[in-house]
Structures are given as C-alpha cells and as structure tokens.
Structure 1
C-alpha cells in the first residue's frame, strides 16, 4: 500500500492539472484564438520545445509552426496555453503593452523558484520603486566605481587557475567568476556563505524551465528545495544588516541587499522579507548566469575564429601599451576603448541570444491582428523572429561585428533584444557589459589557450553554453603583464 502512494499522488496531480487546463480552454472555445496545437494534456509541447532549445534549434521549432499557422500561433508550454507572436510588431505589442493588459507574470515553475514578487513580476508603483533603487547600483556612474574591484577579482581567479591547472573548463570558470562577481560587487557576501550557496543556486536555476511536477526526484521539486535552503541561509544575513542599518554602522549604499532593506514604500513601510528574498534570488540568477553565458561564448568564439581573436588581442594589447605608468589596473576609460571587443559580444548575442524569448500573461481578454488572446493565457516573444530576419540584419547567418559599428542604418526598435525591451527590460545590461569586457581583457592578456574539442557545439540548458563545458589547454601568456 505504501508503495502505491507516489503513483496515487501523481494521478491526483495529473487529474487536477487536466481539470484546470480544461477549465481555461473551455473559455476560449468561442473565441478566435490563433491556430496551432496544444499538444498533450498538461505537457503540451513543452518537452518538444525544450529538446529543440537544447539542440539550439529553437528558431527551427518556431519556423516549422510559422510555416503551418503563420507568425501568430498557439501551443502549450510549462502547463499553460501559450500564444507565440513572432516579428518586430509582435515584439512591440508584447513588450510595449501596459502591465494591466500583458503582465510579466511568469509560468508557475519560474514563480516557484525565483518568487512571485521579483522585479520581473511587480507592476505599477512597487515596480518603479524597486527598479529605481536597484538602478542606483547599476547605472554607468556607479559602475565606474566597480571596475577596479572587478579587475582585481578576475585577475586573482585567473592567476589561481593558471597556477593550478593545465586544462580547464571555461564554462565552469566563467560561472565561478560571474558568481563571485555578484557576491563580491553587488551583495557583499562573505567567502564562506558564497561557497555554501553556490550549489543551491545552480540547482535552482536548472529547475526554472522544468515541468511543474512537484514530486521527489523531479527537477522542479529539487529547485524548490534549493530555493528554501537559500532563503534559510540569507535571512540571518538580512537580520544582521537590518540591525547594522538601524545603528548607522552600515549604509544603504554599501550593497544591493542593504539597499533593499533600507527601502521604504509610499506608506513609509519597509519591504517584506518575502519581497527582499525573492529579489535577492532573482538578481543573483539574472546577474550570474547571463554574464557567464556571454563570457563563455566569447571564449568559444575566440577559440574558433582566428581573425576575430587577432583583432580582439590587438585591441586589448594596445590598451595595455597606452596605459599610464602610474595606472596599476583596468580603468573606466579603458573599458570605453574596447569597441571591437564589445561589437563581437553584440554580434554573438544577436546570433546566440542569452535570452531566447520570454513569457507575458494576459490579465484580461485582449487581441492582436484579429486573433483573440483569452485572459489567463501566456504570450511569448522570441528574439530569433527579428535577429535572424534578413530585412533587418543583412546576411543574418554571417558573423559580422561591423554591423554594430557607426551604423548608417540604425537598428529598428524592438528588433535587437538580447536584454529585452520595454518596462521590464534587463536593468543589468551595462553591468554585464563591464563584467564581460573586464573578464575578456584579463583572459586575453594573461592566457594562451587552445580548444580541446574544436567541433564543440552550443546547447541551451536553458541558457546557451558550449555543450561540453568548453575544455581548453591553458597556460600563462609569455609576456603576461599585471
């Protein structure tokens, strides 16, 4: 009898989800919803979609449906009926709509792992309040103050790697670097806590795009357990900083967590612990994995393309050559000189965007180009619909960084979307730029390397990474300069 309990639990959960899905769908039967297939009950086309993502064939998955149903089609992902809207006008409709029409509410899996009150979910005055306070740490004038700390951290990590290893996995290294950067620069988390939290954040992030089956052994279940452990570890830190803030021994400008603790709303009340922990986890995931993705892809590209590598190397070495004798490390002015290096990053994000697309949720019945989108349905935009459009980007499948140089034909709005757009665009895009350029600068000046698997492809998990972790032979550069 005991052995039957898991099976019974799965049956009850499945039947409940089927009933919920039927209830939602019954409301749409009389509407002119887009054509398409909702796939299997509950699962929908989730597994098919995620498989395509892992194989970096997400754009082909979309094109297959666009050819059948047109640029507006329905499917079902992560337990919810979903409308895909492809193209510039679709991006503008989704990303430019007000929050009372299309909310940034994420699917249940994402909400359960990241939280329901993150910056990506909040609307109205609460969203404006948090975004304004967070931007104080992420705008260019503040980032200037982080360059020295970032440079020292990257140099220290790479120096240790070079001393201890002849081969290294670049993805592992970049994840470690970006994680340490978030801990050190944004949140002021000590080394001991940093190490304890790392595995839980890794587990939680992997669960974000899983099916919402909360059963022992599933990725979703493991992700929620990891989130609970993160919250349990961060609450004592929050309490200590709250106490230090009240005593005046800590400033709200010290770090992002202290900033959140010091915020007062329109009623002069502090934010709840739930809002703070939700946004702590959200910001950690957003700042950690997105940057690690871009930095890994940069090293992957430099390993495979000699021409691009030579130009990046030349630019970085010229910066070192021109450095003032009294300058000991990287400066904000030098970051601004890395124009070609950043164009390589921009082109990589066009061809392999960190963010494939994103969900919105219809809070009321709405319509687009004659199609009805019922209340409660998800809406999804995909970057490939414009990033790979030859009418927007000439020869879209050719790697051409110069397309971002002195553009005579500006890129139309809502077409280049590595960081999203609209009210809920990524607030950390400038932080990611400085972090990436600082890391590539140090990697190129300090290291010589060769790819162990030259044919290594890219996979999404759900962010795009080299499929084998990008193992390389690595050694110190002969004329390495600190």
Structure 2
C-alpha cells in the first residue's frame, strides 16, 4: 500500500510541478517581456492592491520597472498582463485602437461596469463612437460655453456658501455628492431633493473592487462593489423606465436623445444605455472629487502658487464692467495659470494606475512579444512621475508647464487617456476644476483641520479624508 501511496504522491508532485511551470512560463510565439506571473490563478493582484501612502508611483509598478525594465509581465485579477512604463510604446498603443488592440477590462472591473453576459468590448466600435458623440453633445466645449459654465459656477456659489456655514466638511465626500447630483441632473434629469433614490450613497461605495481578484463571496471587496453596483444600476433602470413610459416628460438631455436614437441606432439597447450612464456618472464624480481634494491640499502647502492663482482670478473680476456678472467663456479660456495648476495636479495625482487594452494579435516590440489575447496596462502614472521627463516629479510646480516641450507632453501626460479613447469628458472635468477654484479663491479661504494622508490602493484616495473649514473673505 505504501508503494501505491508513494506513486500517487509522485504523480501529484509531477502534475503540480508541470502546472506551476506552465503558469510561470506562458506560451508565446517569441520572447515574453521579463517578469513574474505570481501565484497560480491569483497572480500578483494582492501586491497591486497594497496601500501606498505616497503620491509617488505605486511600489508594485515602480519596483518591477526597476527590476525588469520599462515593460514587464505579471498576472492581475486572473489575467496575464503586460505593464508598460515606456512612453513611446504607450503613445503608439494608444493610437492603435481597432488595429493592434481593443479596449479591455479585467474581470473585476468589467463585472462592475458591464451588464451580465455582455462582451467586454461592447464599448468598442459603433457604440463607443456613438457614446463619445452624445457625451460631447451634452458635456463638450460647446455645451460648456453656451450653458454649463454658468450652471457650474452657480452650483459652487451655493455649495461654498453652505459649506462656509458648517464647522467643517470632508472635501472628497462633499464634492463627490455635488458632482454626482449635477451630472445626474444634466444626463438623466435626476433631482436629488425630490427623488426617493439616494444615488450618491450607493455610488460612493463602488470603488473598492476594481483591480482585486474577482472573488464574488460575502466579505470581499469585489462582492461589496458588485452589490452596490447592482443597486446603482437598479436606480438608473427605474429612471429610464419612467422616462420611456412617460414620453411627455421630455428634458432634452442625454437620456432623451439615447432613447430616441434606439429606433435608428439598432445596436443601442436599454441595458447598454444604463451601463454607459453608470460608467459616465461614476468616472466623473469620483475622479473630479479626488482631484479637488488633492488640489486644496497642495495649494495650502504652496502659498506662492495660491497667491498667483488668486491674483489671476481677482484680475478677472477687476476687468469686468459689471462686477456681479457671471463667468464668461473668454474669462474661462484666459485662465493661463489656473490650467497650469490643473495640469500639475492631474500629473501628480495620476488617479488610476493605467489604461487597459487587449492585444488583438501578437505585438512585437524591442525584441519582446506580447501574445494575442493578453491585457496591456499602459501605466501612465509612471510616465507622469518620471524624473527624466519632469524634474523633481513629486514637487508641486505649476510653472514647469510654461517650458515643457509639447511633443514630450503628448507622450508623457495622458490623464484623460489618448488616441480615439481620450475621455470625452476632459473639458467638462477641467471646467469643474477651474470654476471651483475661481469661486473659492475669490470669495473664500480654507484651513485644513485634519486628514489629507494619501492612500493609493491602487486608486487615489485619503486614509481619513481631508477635513477643512471654509470661511468667507472679509470685504
């Protein structure tokens, strides 16, 4: 019997050895980039999600780039991944949509942002082009110039007046609620004061399960994200059903246009509209609120930057014939230093670790082969904090943008993505940030009370928020 037992053990050991070797050395029609696949199935997902208490590049990316070079392989959330911190490669891949690569989500992300049974590439092609067009129609530069700029200014005037009457506010939470309510009103006619649906409470809880291993069991971050996502999608579904069943309740918004276009754009379905809305609303409210919180923290630590920012906005007020008039498009476009500040915050923030694409065919680059079907993470966060491109990269220095070469910037600064996938809401986000700063620095001052401790896991956040007191400036 002991001989039979030894034979069984030997077979198991041989099988496990073979399996581990196969996992560690995936099949490739060439030479794979160097790296490690981590543990079978799990890969290196846990290492990526270890909290980093710094604005610097996440250690997962930084240490591996130092060890293996600017392009390395790993496994995240059950998928083989090639991570790139190479600016030339990232710039090239960002322009190869539909040829060498396609938009891709890891399972943990796709289950949150796509409907059950939907292809991960639904946003590719016709649907993506349609969504980009409709978003630009309602949130692009023309819409901002004609109506949104004044609405955003009014939003912040009321909000800051309310916040200044409170002993303190937690910046990210307060601004995320504000931005979500504004975006939901703009896109789907949601009125948070009248609606029984508490959208902001649900959306705020979704972020925890993006790049974790997609383990859908109670107690895991992915399980909780899916639960909150289901609730948020249910809210949007109710809103859409009500609009479809009440055609007389017309708002002329994103939702009306999408519903009307379902008759002519046959690829549009109710589910695609719902999940697209969910993605647009979530992406804007979470990223913009994080940037606003970080901006206030950085400005407080750099009084010279704040002083020049205030001077620019006070000059705008002094240049008006009517001091009480609203912000104009020409005034907005004249905010040279403000946009340098915004670019610098976006550069340092690097809100997400990277952009994800999937190789449609084997990709050859500098002697390495990325196999078809593999995920590619363009780690733009590393590019934006590269000391070879940006001197003293962790320093908050808006003046650096006066002298940076535009070609260098185009390959090393992609906070809104690149190529045909560049975020359609980029101008919308900048308008929010610039208008918030305009109202804040001309009418108020703020003091940090507590918090402001950075925690990337891997998305940008704060361990205990950023709590401030806002007071109105004396006349």
> What TM-score, normalized by structure 2, do the two folds share?
0.87
User: 2:201 corresponds to which residue?
Assistant: 199
Cα distance change on mapping 1:78 and 1:119 into 2, 3 Å: closer
Cα distance change on mapping 1:21 and 1:271 into 2, 3 Å: farther
Question: How far has the Cα of 1:107 moved from its partner?
Answer: 0.3
User: 1:58 corresponds to which residue?
Assistant: 57
Q: What is the CA–CA distance in structure 2 between the aligned matches of 1:153 and 1:338, rounded to whole Å?
A: 20
Question: How far has the Cα of 1:433 moved from its partner?
Answer: 0.6
Question: How far has the Cα of 1:326 moved from its partner?
Answer: 7.1
Q: What is the CA–CA distance in structure 1 between the aligned matches of 2:278 and 2:182, rounded to whole Å?
A: 15
- 1:375 maps to 2:377: no
Determine which of 420, 423, 427 is the counterpart of 2:420: 423
User: 2:32 corresponds to which residue?
Assistant: 33
**More displaced stretch, 77-86 vs 179-188:** 179-188
**More displaced stretch, 21-30 vs 456-465:** 21-30
> What TM-score, normalized by structure 1, do the two folds share?
0.86
Cα distance change on mapping 1:388 and 1:180 into 2, 3 Å: same
Q: What is the CA–CA distance in structure 2 between the aligned matches of 1:307 and 1:167, rounded to whole Å?
A: 25
- 1:43 maps to 2:39: no
Pairing 1:158-307 to 2, within 5 Å after superposition: 158-163=160-165, 165-191=166-192, 192-193=194-195, 196-245=198-247, 247=248, 250=250, 254-264=252-262, 268-269=265-266, 271-307=268-304
Unaligned runs of 5+ in 2: 1-17
User: 1:123 corresponds to which residue?
Assistant: 124
Question: How far has the Cα of 1:93 moved from its partner?
Answer: 3.1
Work out whether residues 119 and 130 of structure 1, in 8 Å CA contact, stay in contact via their aligned partners in 2: no
Q: What is the CA–CA distance in structure 2 between the aligned matches of 1:411 and 1:30, rounded to whole Å?
A: 33
Question: How far has the Cα of 1:347 moved from its partner?
Answer: 0.9
**More displaced stretch, 27-36 vs 306-315:** 27-36
Work out whether residues 21 and 42 of structure 1, in 8 Å CA contact, stay in contact via their aligned partners in 2: no
User: 2:468 corresponds to which residue?
Assistant: 472
Q: What is the CA–CA distance in structure 2 between the aligned matches of 1:21 and 1:324, rounded to whole Å?
A: 74
User: 2:102 corresponds to which residue?
Assistant: 103
User: 2:345 corresponds to which residue?
Assistant: 348
Q: What is the CA–CA distance in structure 2 between the aligned matches of 1:326 and 1:307, rounded to whole Å?
A: 26
Question: How far has the Cα of 1:59 moved from its partner?
Answer: 4.5
RMSD over aligned CA atoms reads: 2.8
Q: What is the CA–CA distance in structure 1 between the aligned matches of 2:36 and 2:101, rounded to whole Å?
A: 22
**More displaced stretch, 404-413 vs 35-44:** 404-413
Question: How far has the Cα of 1:306 moved from its partner?
Answer: 0.9
Aligned length: 454
- Give CA deviations for 1:396-442 in whole Å, capped at 9, x if unaligned: 34332123237566534322111110121111110001111111222
- Give CA deviations for 1:254-276 in whole Å, capped at 9, x if unaligned: 222222222247x6537211101
Q: What is the CA–CA distance in structure 1 between the aligned matches of 2:119 and 2:176, rounded to whole Å?
A: 22
Q: What is the CA–CA distance in structure 2 between the aligned matches of 1:21 and 1:218, rounded to whole Å?
A: 26
Pairing 1:334-345 to 2, within 5 Å after superposition: 334-345=331-342
User: 2:442 corresponds to which residue?
Assistant: 445
Q: What is the CA–CA distance in structure 1 between the aligned matches of 2:460 and 2:379, rounded to whole Å?
A: 15
Work out whether residues 101 and 363 of structure 1, in 8 Å CA contact, stay in contact via their aligned partners in 2: yes
Cα distance change on mapping 1:271 and 1:86 into 2, 3 Å: same
Question: How far has the Cα of 1:334 moved from its partner?
Answer: 2.3
Cα distance change on mapping 1:118 and 1:40 into 2, 3 Å: closer
Work out whether residues 359 and 370 of structure 2, in 8 Å CA contact, stay in contact via their aligned partners in 1: yes
**Shift >6 Å, 4+ stretches:** 19-26, 117-120
Q: What is the CA–CA distance in structure 2 between the aligned matches of 1:119 and 1:134, rounded to whole Å?
A: 21
User: 1:9 corresponds to which residue?
Assistant: none
User: 1:463 corresponds to which residue?
Assistant: 459
- Give CA deviations for 1:50-103 in whole Å, capped at 9, x if unaligned: 215455453543232223222121111122111112221121232122325322
User: 1:13 corresponds to which residue?
Assistant: none
User: 2:4 corresponds to which residue?
Assistant: none
Cα distance change on mapping 1:30 and 1:133 into 2, 3 Å: closer
User: 1:14 corresponds to which residue?
Assistant: none
Cα distance change on mapping 1:365 and 1:352 into 2, 3 Å: same
Q: Which SS does the other structure have where 1:33 is aligned?
A: coil
Work out whether residues 316 and 444 of structure 1, in 8 Å CA contact, stay in contact via their aligned partners in 2: yes
Q: What is the CA–CA distance in structure 2 between the aligned matches of 1:372 and 1:31, rounded to whole Å?
A: 5
Work out whether residues 94 and 418 of structure 2, in 8 Å CA contact, stay in contact via their aligned partners in 1: yes
User: 1:10 corresponds to which residue?
Assistant: none
Work out whether residues 262 and 270 of structure 1, in 8 Å CA contact, stay in contact via their aligned partners in 2: no
